[in-house]
Amino acid sequence: MRQVEFRIILRNLSALALRLSRTEETSRGMGIETLIGVLGFAGTLLLVLVGLLNFSVFRKQLRIAKEQIDTAVRQLEIAQKQPDLYLIQRAVTETSDHLRLFVERPKLRPYFYSEAEWTAGDEVSLDEIQAMAELILNNFASALMHSAAFPEYPVRGVDRIIMFHLRRSRALREFLLENFERFPFTGLTLLSLKNETRDQVEADLQWLIEARGVDDSEITRRKELLELYRSGKVREPIEFTSYSMKRRR
């Protein structure tokens, strides 16, 4: 009887030991699975962080690239404006280059700003006045030719300056009429800016046609200018310069 009970107890102990062994193995398996899960989550989080870092770097590179493009566009715009800026600077120079001479010789100024007429005994000689008139008209002619050749040239500012001086300087008007052949491209434009009405322009052209000491080719040219002006095909004064330049090419 005791042997039977001992066997039963031994069997129960063996079963309990086996059960404990299986429980330990199960606990170990669950620990490994938990560790794997934690490691997987950590790896996923690390990938997310790396992705965010890469995205931040990409955005920074994109911003730098955009700034470089903007800088290049601004430089291109500046480069495109350089010819215009040069023409504007040239216009200012050609229409105001004579001012420094007025600073050096202020007594010349009234003959080109205030309708002063030279008379014998003036402190300024007639040769000085004529030389100044020639310089100013040559600069005006250059400015008008640039206006006709380049649309970017600030013609509106130039023609007003020329008009102002021609209508306030007897010396400029006389030099223009006496030396009209020296302005083959800009002569008619200068006459248009000099006068206030069409009748006055036609009267000047008629006087130039009848002037003495002019060769036949020049008289023919002046007659053609009168016909052109009367035809009304050209409206703006600067267009006469464009027309003359195109005919001479």
Q: Which of 12-26, 61-75, 164-178 has the highest mean pLDDT?
A: 164-178
Q: What is the pLDDT of residues 32-42, one digit of tens each?
A: 767 676 667 66
- Alpha helices, DSSP H only, in the chain? 2-96, 99-104, 110-113, 126-149, 155-166, 170-178, 187-194, 198-210, 216-231, 237-248
Q: Tell me the CA distances in angstroms from 41 to 8, 37, 46, 51, 215, one per residue in order.
A: 49, 6, 9, 15, 104
The tokens describing 11, both together, are 């069997």
93-149 per-position pLDDT tens digit:
655 677 788 888 899 999 999 999 999 889 999 999 999 999 999 888 888 888 877
Structure tokens at 101: 């001479």
Integer Cα distance of 72 and 61 in angstroms: 16
Return the pLDDT at 227. Answer: 92
Residue 27: per-residue pLDDT = 52
* pLDDT computed for residue 161 by the predictor: 87
Q: How far is CA 44 from CA 30, 57, 126, in A?
A: 21, 20, 97
Q: Is the pLDDT of residue 249 over 80?
A: no
Backbone angles phi, psi at 8, to 5 degrees: -65, -45
- d(Cα 79, Cα 74) in Å, to the nearest integer? 9
Picking from 228, 215, 132, the residue whose alpha carbon sits closest to that of residue 188 is 228
Taking the alpha carbons at both ends of the chain, their separation in whole angstroms is 142
Between 205 and 235, residue with greater pLDDT: 205
Q: What is the DSSP letter of 106?
A: G
Higher-confidence position of 71 and 139: 139
Identify which has the larger pLDDT, 136 or 150: 136
Res 88: pLDDT: 53
Whether 209 and 112 have beta carbons less than 8 Å apart is answered as no
Taking the complete model, does pTM exceed 0.85, yes or no?
A: no
For the chain, domain boundaries: 1-82, 97-248
